[in-house]
């Protein structure tokens, strides 16, 4: 194998790798199979050049030339078939095997008739006469002209099909892919014709060789750029593996030709040592030296080829971390829009959020008078079916209303990104054209589809949080209204009875035949009921206007003594009222007025419970009644309790005892325990109780640290 075949071998390696990558990406797709076959035909072209350059005699070189001759004139037929299939097939007959047979029949027939007199001439290189090369010759033989005419016609045919298809394609990215492919193929064919014509005017055979080498490199480079830059196919990891294989193969061959071969020739020339075994050992050693670099090289190519993808992954990860926090809907969409504009270089992004009340998707910012999109429109149906990013031009524009279509065209719409969660379309993100005249790639479409799914999950989570908050708000509102209603009903009920008594007494006084004794008694009723009204209003005001708590040091022994005196100054002096301070520290910091009021209300309730038991139990007398106040403490709290041995709280009323105007007493207002509850909350504490017949205990827990 000589050094002149090195470029052909490298081109063979690259084209073979690309053909394999395209085929393995989706082998079941007809386009992939034909495209791989098309690239593989150039691989055979390179292989035939290697055969010619390394032939030991004319007959071997002639075999390579015959293969090359067939491939050159069959390549346009591949081009025609791919023109019908790429990037979309608009003709049903293009998938019929009879169509393939018809396309290949003409060039195959012309090639068959042109043998054995085909128009390739084998020449030798001046520097090494034993090496053969080729160039085309031209003659006036009809069959060659027919073959040349068929090839040129096929090239024009395929180019016209692609150019016509560009006008029919809606998606701009597909237009750009098709335009790049047809222009590239035309350049390759023109380059081949130019190279062939130049060979006829250049006398140095080495120049022929370099012209052809440049053409093979151009073909390999075109297919590589087509896959990497324009994403004609999506090979994924196979691409980096294929490029790694190609580079390592080329490097191995280069080292072999420039180092190992030169060293072995020197050994044989100067020392007479047989170089075959030495060559084999050096080649094996070279392979083992290069192998450790395979993974590093593949990783490098993966980062280079997919560098945009790696950057997108990094930025998307940052976005998802940010969206883990709950945001209001407007702020959520603002973060998402800012990310899309920055990373995908959009001129502008619109977000249409679904409004359940109107059943329309409405643009959240209201900018540019964007029209609302009805839920039952064809656009929504197509987006739900697609479930991923969809090109604006792939939509059925005929089903769009005029206002919506006019708006989308004016803002240069490019992609719709549906945000779908659990088959529910939550919102639509509209991406307009890119800045700087760029276009969206296939990879960006896939990233947008994945991004849309993840954003939809975050959006749905936020919506669930908002729905829960709205439910809580409504429940709180209902509870508040119910409390107000209960409070109002309680006030009305408590006021109505005294008013009825006052009204009845006043009407009786207006009668002329009322005795003086009765008049005096009626006047006393009016005064008592007026005082009762005043007490109800005072308790109500105490309930609704608890003053802010003060922070003062309180001597609890003095407070308990005062409390016992107030409770004993009553109609039932027989009840035993006592207190106990079960802690070394008898002082606490709190509001003395509020705390005394709470303890007094609890004491009055305890006294009423003892009196109730006296009335309901014959064997129980008020002299047996006990009310005890106790103060104790633990590590963090002061504990104040008021205990009695009265009638107890019935189980069916225990959940309602803190409700305003709830009372079981005949003349009670039902505000005492409500006031106690609010006071203890104002003092940063809490209250609880236990009760059974003959024993009730209310316990107040207050923090030891001073309130702020």
Q: What is the pLDDT of residues 350-406, one digit of tens each?
A: 999 998 888 888 888 766 678 888 888 878 888 888 778 888 877 776 667 788 888
Question: Could you say which architecture CATH assigns to the domain 308-469?
Answer: 2-Layer Sandwich (3.30)
Better-scored residue on pLDDT, 164 or 199: 164
Res 102: pLDDT: 94
Beta pairing, strands 587-590 & 686-692? unpaired
pLDDT value at 545 more than 60:
no
Per the CB < 8 A criterion, the answer to whether 444 and 173 are in contact is no
Res 668: pLDDT: 53
Over residues 250-255, the mean pLDDT reads: 63
70 to 45, 77, 122, 520: CA distances (angstroms): 9, 12, 16, 135
Better-scored residue on pLDDT, 664 or 395: 395
**Burial per residue of 313-336, b for 16 or more beta-carbon CB atoms within 10 angstroms, e otherwise:** eeebeebeeebeeebeeeebbeeb
Write the pLDDT tens digit of every residue in 679-698: 888 888 999 989 888 899 99
pLDDT value at 707 more than 60:
no
Q: Counting every residue, how long is the chain?
A: 708
Per the CB < 8 A criterion, the answer to whether 196 and 214 are in contact is no
CA–CA dist 554, 551 (Å, integer): 9
CA–CA dist 166, 151 (Å, integer): 23
Write the pLDDT tens digit of every residue in 73-101: 899 999 999 999 988 888 888 889 999 99
Res 509: pLDDT: 82
pLDDT value at 320 more than 70:
yes
Res 541: pLDDT: 63
Write the CB contacts of 29 (distance below 8 Å, at least 6 apart in sequence).
none
Residue 346's beta-bridge partner residues?
A: 434
Residue with tokens 């080495």: 206
CATH class of 552-703: alpha beta
pLDDT value at 343 more than 60:
yes
Eight-class DSSP state of 521: H
- Kindly state the percentage of the chain with pLDDT values over 90: 13
Q: Compute the mean pLDDT over every residue in the chain, rounded to the nearest whole number.
A: 79
Better-scored residue on pLDDT, 398 or 575: 575
CA–CA dist 278, 193 (Å, integer): 44
For residues 610, 612, 613 and 617, what is the CA-based torsion angle, rounded to 10 degrees? 150
| Domain 3-235 = CATH 1.20.1600.10 | no
Over residues 636-651, the mean pLDDT reads: 89
Res 708: pLDDT: 42
- Residue 234 tokens read as 């999506």
Domain ranges of the chain: 3-235, 237-305, 308-469, 497-544, 552-703
Over residues 43-61, the mean pLDDT reads: 81
**Nearest one of 52, 35, 51, 39 to 13, comparing CA atoms:** 39
CA–CA dist 309, 326 (Å, integer): 28
Write the pLDDT tens digit of every residue in 408-443: 888 888 888 999 988 889 999 999 988 877 777 777
Res 629: pLDDT: 93
Res 98: pLDDT: 93
Over residues 519-543, the mean pLDDT reads: 74
Give the 3-state secondary structure of residue 544: helix
Write the pLDDT tens digit of every residue in 97-155: 999 999 999 999 988 888 767 667 777 766 666 666 666 666 667 888 888 899 999 99
Over residues 591-614, the mean pLDDT reads: 87
CA–CA dist 85, 89 (Å, integer): 5
Better-scored residue on pLDDT, 529 or 630: 630
Write the CB contacts of 298 (distance below 8 Å, at least 6 apart in sequence).
240, 241, 244
Over residues 159-164, the mean pLDDT reads: 92
């Amino acid at each position: 194998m000589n050094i002149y075949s090195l470029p052909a071998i490298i081109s063979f390696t690259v084209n073979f790798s690309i053909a394999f990558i395209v085929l393995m990406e989706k082998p079941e797709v007809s386009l992939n199979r034909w495209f791989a076959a098309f690239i593989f035909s150039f691989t055979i072209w390179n292989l035939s050049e290697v055969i010619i350059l390394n032939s030991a005699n004319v007959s071997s070189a002639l075999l390579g030339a015959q293969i090359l001759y067939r491939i050159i004139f069959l390549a346009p037929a591949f081009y025609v078939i791919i023109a019908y299939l790429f990037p979309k097939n608009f003709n049903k007959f293009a998938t019929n095997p009879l169509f393939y047979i018809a396309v290949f029949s003409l060039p195959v027939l012309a090639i068959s008739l042109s043998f054995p007199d085909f128009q390739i001439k084998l020449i030798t290189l001046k520097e090494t006469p034993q090496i053969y090369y080729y160039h085309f010759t031209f003659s006036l033989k009809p069959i060659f002209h027919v073959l040349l005419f068929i090839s040129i016609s096929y090239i024009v045919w395929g180019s016209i099909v692609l150019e016509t298809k560009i006008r029919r394609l809606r998606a701009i990215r597909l237009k750009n892919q098709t335009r790049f492919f047809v222009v590239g193929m035309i350049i390759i064919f023109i380059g081949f014709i130019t190279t062939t014509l130049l060979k006829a005017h250049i006398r140095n055979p080495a120049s022929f060789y370099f012209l052809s080498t440049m053409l093979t490199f151009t073909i390999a480079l075109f297919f590589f750029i087509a896959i990497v830059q324009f994403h004609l196919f999506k090979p994924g990891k196979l691409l980096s593996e294929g490029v790694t294989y190609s580079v390592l193969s080329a490097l191995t061959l280069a080292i072999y030709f420039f180092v190992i071969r030169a060293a072995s020739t020197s050994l044989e020339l100067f020392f007479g040592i047989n170089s075959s075994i030495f060559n084999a050992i050096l080649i094996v050693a070279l392979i083992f030296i290069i192998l450790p670099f395979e993974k590093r090289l593949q990783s490098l190519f993966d980062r280079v080829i997919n560098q945009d993808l790696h950057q997108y992954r990094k930025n998307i990860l940052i976005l998802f971390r940010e969206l883990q926090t709950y945001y209001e809907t407007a702020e959520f969409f603002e973060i998402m829009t800012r990310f899309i504009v920055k990373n995908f270089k959009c001129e502008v992004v619109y977000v249409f959020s679904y409004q359940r009340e109107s059943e329309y998707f409405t643009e959240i910012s209201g900018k540019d008078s964007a029209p609302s999109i009805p839920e039952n429109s064809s656009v929504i149906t197509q987006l739900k079916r697609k479930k991923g990013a969809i090109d604006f031009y792939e939509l059925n524009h005929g089903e769009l209303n005029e206002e919506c279509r006019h708006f989308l065209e004016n803002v240069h719409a490019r992609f719709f990104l549906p945000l779908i969660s659990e088959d529910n379309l939550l919102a639509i993100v509209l991406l307009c054209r890119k800045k700087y005249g760029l276009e969206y790639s296939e990879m960006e479409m896939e990233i947008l589809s994945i991004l849309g799914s993840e954003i939809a999950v975050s959006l749905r989570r936020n919506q669930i949080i908002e729905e829960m908050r709205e439910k809580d708000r409504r429940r709180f509102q209902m509870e508040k209204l119910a409390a107000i209603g209960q409070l109002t009903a309680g006030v009305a009920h408590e006021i109505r009875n005294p008013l009825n008594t006052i009204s009845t007494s006043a009407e009786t006084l207006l009668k002329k035949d009322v005795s003086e004794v009765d008049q005096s008694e009626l006047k006393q009723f009016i005064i008592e009921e007026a005082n009762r009204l005043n007490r109800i209003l005072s308790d109500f005001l105490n309930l609704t206007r608890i003053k802010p708590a003060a922070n003062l040091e309180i001597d609890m022994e003095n407070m308990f003594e005062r409390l016992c005196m107030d409770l004993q100054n009553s109609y039932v002096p027989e009840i035993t009222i006592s207190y106990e301070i079960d802690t070394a520290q008898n002082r606490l910091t709190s509001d003395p007025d509020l705390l005394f009021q709470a303890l007094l209300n609890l004491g009055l309730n305890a006294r009423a419970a003892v009196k109730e038991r006296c009335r309901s139990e014959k064997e129980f007398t008020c002299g047996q009644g006990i009310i005890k106040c106790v103060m104790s403490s633990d590590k963090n709290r002061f504990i104040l309790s008021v205990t009695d041995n009265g009638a107890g709280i019935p189980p069916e009323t225990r959940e309602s005892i803190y409700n305003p105007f709830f009372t079981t007493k005949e003349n009670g207002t039902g505000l005492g325990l409500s006031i106690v509850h609010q006071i203890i909350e104002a003092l940063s504490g809490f209250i609880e109780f236990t009760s059974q017949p003959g024993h009730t205990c209310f316990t107040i827990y207050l923090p030891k640290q001073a309130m702020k």
